[in-house]
Amino acid sequence: MPVLVEPDTNWASALTVALPAGTQVVSNAGQLDTWLTEQSNEYVALLGPSTDLDTALAIGESLRATHPAVGVVIVRTDPTSDVFQSAMQVGATAVTRADDLDGITAAVDRSRQTWEAIRGPVGHGGVRDGKVITVFSPKGGVGKTTVAVNLAIALSNRGTSKVCLVDLDLAFGDVAITLQVIPDHTIVEAVEAEEHLDFSLLETLMTRHEHLSILAAPTHPEAKARISPSFVRRVLQILREQFDYIVVDTTPAFDDHVLAAFEETDECILIATLDVPTVKNVKVAVETLDNLGVVQSQRHLLLNRADDEVGLTCQVVEGLLKMKVATALPTALAVATATNNGRPIVLSQPDHPVSKALIGLADQLRPAGAARTSSGTRPDAHAEEPAKRGVFSRLRK
Ligand SMILES: Nc1ncnc2c1ncn2[C@@H]1O[C@H](COP(=O)(O)OP(=O)(O)OP(=O)(O)O)[C@@H](O)[C@H]1O
Ligand SMILES: [Mg+2]
């Protein structure tokens, strides 16, 4: 996969449009070095326009010695003939204009071809072993999509972890609209290929939002009927090989697709609010999870709108559900406003109490020993306990 060195988020967003899903964004040479040390299939490093030319050339020169199979693409707003000459001297693969997205895509593709000629096909090694996090509630409108989107952004930690957000609300999914992106393709376009599904097909269906890769829900509700539960499982298994975290947004019901997702789920975020019908339904959901053998340590109760003065309290909910609240989010107009503006609150107001709570939840979900969000370094996805895989698989043991 490509890795882009670009500290400026606006440039990073603009350039990743030209790059394949799963592209990693890092801010500086140190992060690039750490990233390349941990990866086995990065075939090109792009040095974005915010990195000054001397630094970009120094990185290029150093990569020639340390990672000779990794292509180096220097991206400049205004590449002069001097830039081309210096780039050639340090052995860069290409110099492209920052606004030439087709040129960037072509340069990346050439680097992939060179890498594959030397090392074999990219990205089918099945090694990353990411964590599937399913956001669920048996009630509609309680904040599942809001939490899934913001949690995915928090987990990506400005691109230091690879995150894919999967919209499994297959009839009425609204992840794309929440992020104000218009998907060119959706998950349903891969159903015919279920037998030989692989990441190279899935990545062509993804939509990019800053550091996130999104697998959008079909645009028409009737397409849901064409998607089988086994296909959902296969998609999640493939994504697990390519991303550090796969965040799954769901429908408000244990339908066959959600049950299939639970087969691959490592962590479940269960959302409740302070109203009796929701708490009653969440209690039934908890009992269902109990019957399915979902262990308590993999369930995280999130109380949304936790400050609503409606007679029920957090303590009463904990007592009824026999579960501690892991995260409580207050009601805040800023949440809905941020969503309506297409900049979810974790992005637009990272210091807001709702954002802080969700960033804290993201930190809890990182594997033990991994770096926390505030450190800005990449968590170690491989430190995860392999035994904690799939809530149903435990039933079969
Ligand atoms: N803590 C909060 N404070 C204020 N508004 C919130 C909060 N959480 C969610 N909302 C708003 O509530 C509405 C419903 O949220 P959301 O779409 O995330 O729910 P959902 O559970 O995904 O719904 P559905 O079941 O229809 O998919 C949205 O307008 C969202 O902005
Ligand atoms: Mg929703």
Condensed to tens digits (0 to 9), the pLDDT of residues 275-291 reads 999 999 999 999 888 77
**Least confidently predicted of 9-13, 43-47, 149-153:** 9-13
* Per-residue pLDDT tens digits for 327-354: 999 999 999 999 998 899 999 999 999 9
Mutate to test the pocket of ligand 1, among 134, 145, 224 (most ligand atoms within 8 A of CB): 145
Rg of the Cα atoms in the chain:
22
Q: Kindly tell me if the per-residue pLDDT of 392 is higher than 50.
A: no
Ligand 1 in reach of 267 Cβ (< 6 A): no
Ligand 2 center to residue 178 CA distance, Å?
Answer: 9
User: Per-residue pLDDT for 397 more than 70?
Assistant: no
142 lines ligand 1 (CB under 6 A): yes
One-letter amino acid at 152 equals A
* Per-residue pLDDT tens digits for 40-92: 778 999 999 999 999 999 999 999 888 888 999 999 999 999 999 999 999 99
> Which atom of ligand 1 is found nearest the CA of 336?
31
- d(CA 87, CA 53) in angstroms, rounded, equals 9
For residue 95, give both structure tokens. Answer: 């110099």
Structure tokens at 208: 């990019």
pLDDT of 205 > 50? The answer is yes
d(CA 230, CA 241): 17
Q: Which atom of ligand 1 is nearest to the CA of 172?
A: 27
Q: Is the CB of 143 under 6 A from ligand 1?
A: yes
The CATH class that applies to domain 131-396 reads alpha beta
Whether the predicted pLDDT of 362 surpasses 80? yes
From ligand 1's centre to the CA of 140, what distance in Å? 9
Say which CATH architecture domain 2-119 belongs to.
3-Layer(aba) Sandwich (3.40)
Q: How far is the CA of 305 from the centre of ligand 1 (A)?
A: 10
Do the two domains 2-119 and 131-396 of this chain adopt the same fold?
Answer: yes
Atom of ligand 1 nearest to the CA of 252: 25
| Tokens linked to 173 | 């999914």
Residue 345, ligand 1, Cβ within 6 A:
no
Residues 6+ apart with CB under 8 A from 98: 11, 14, 15, 48, 49, 75, 76, 77
Where do the structural domains in the chain lie, given as residue ranges?
2-119, 131-396
Contact indicator for 271, 157 with CB cutoff of 8 Å: no
DSSP string, 260-311: HHHHH-SEEEEEE-SSHHHHHHHHHHHHHHHHTT--GGGEEEEETTTT--SS
pLDDT digits (tens, 9 = 90+) for 258-278: 999 988 888 999 999 999 999
Taking the centre of ligand 2 as the mean of its atom positions, its distance from the CA of residue 81, in whole angstroms, is 51
Which of 137, 255, 325, 335 to mutate for ligand 1's pocket (most ligand atoms within 8 Å of CB)?
335
Q: Is residue 41 within 6 Å of ligand 1 at its C-beta? A: no
124 pLDDT above the threshold of 70: no
Mean pLDDT is lowest, of 68-72, 111-115, 220-224, 390-394, for 390-394
Phi, psi of 245 (to 5 degrees): -135, 140
Task: From 170, 369, 352, select the one nearest 259 (Cα to Cα).
Answer: 170
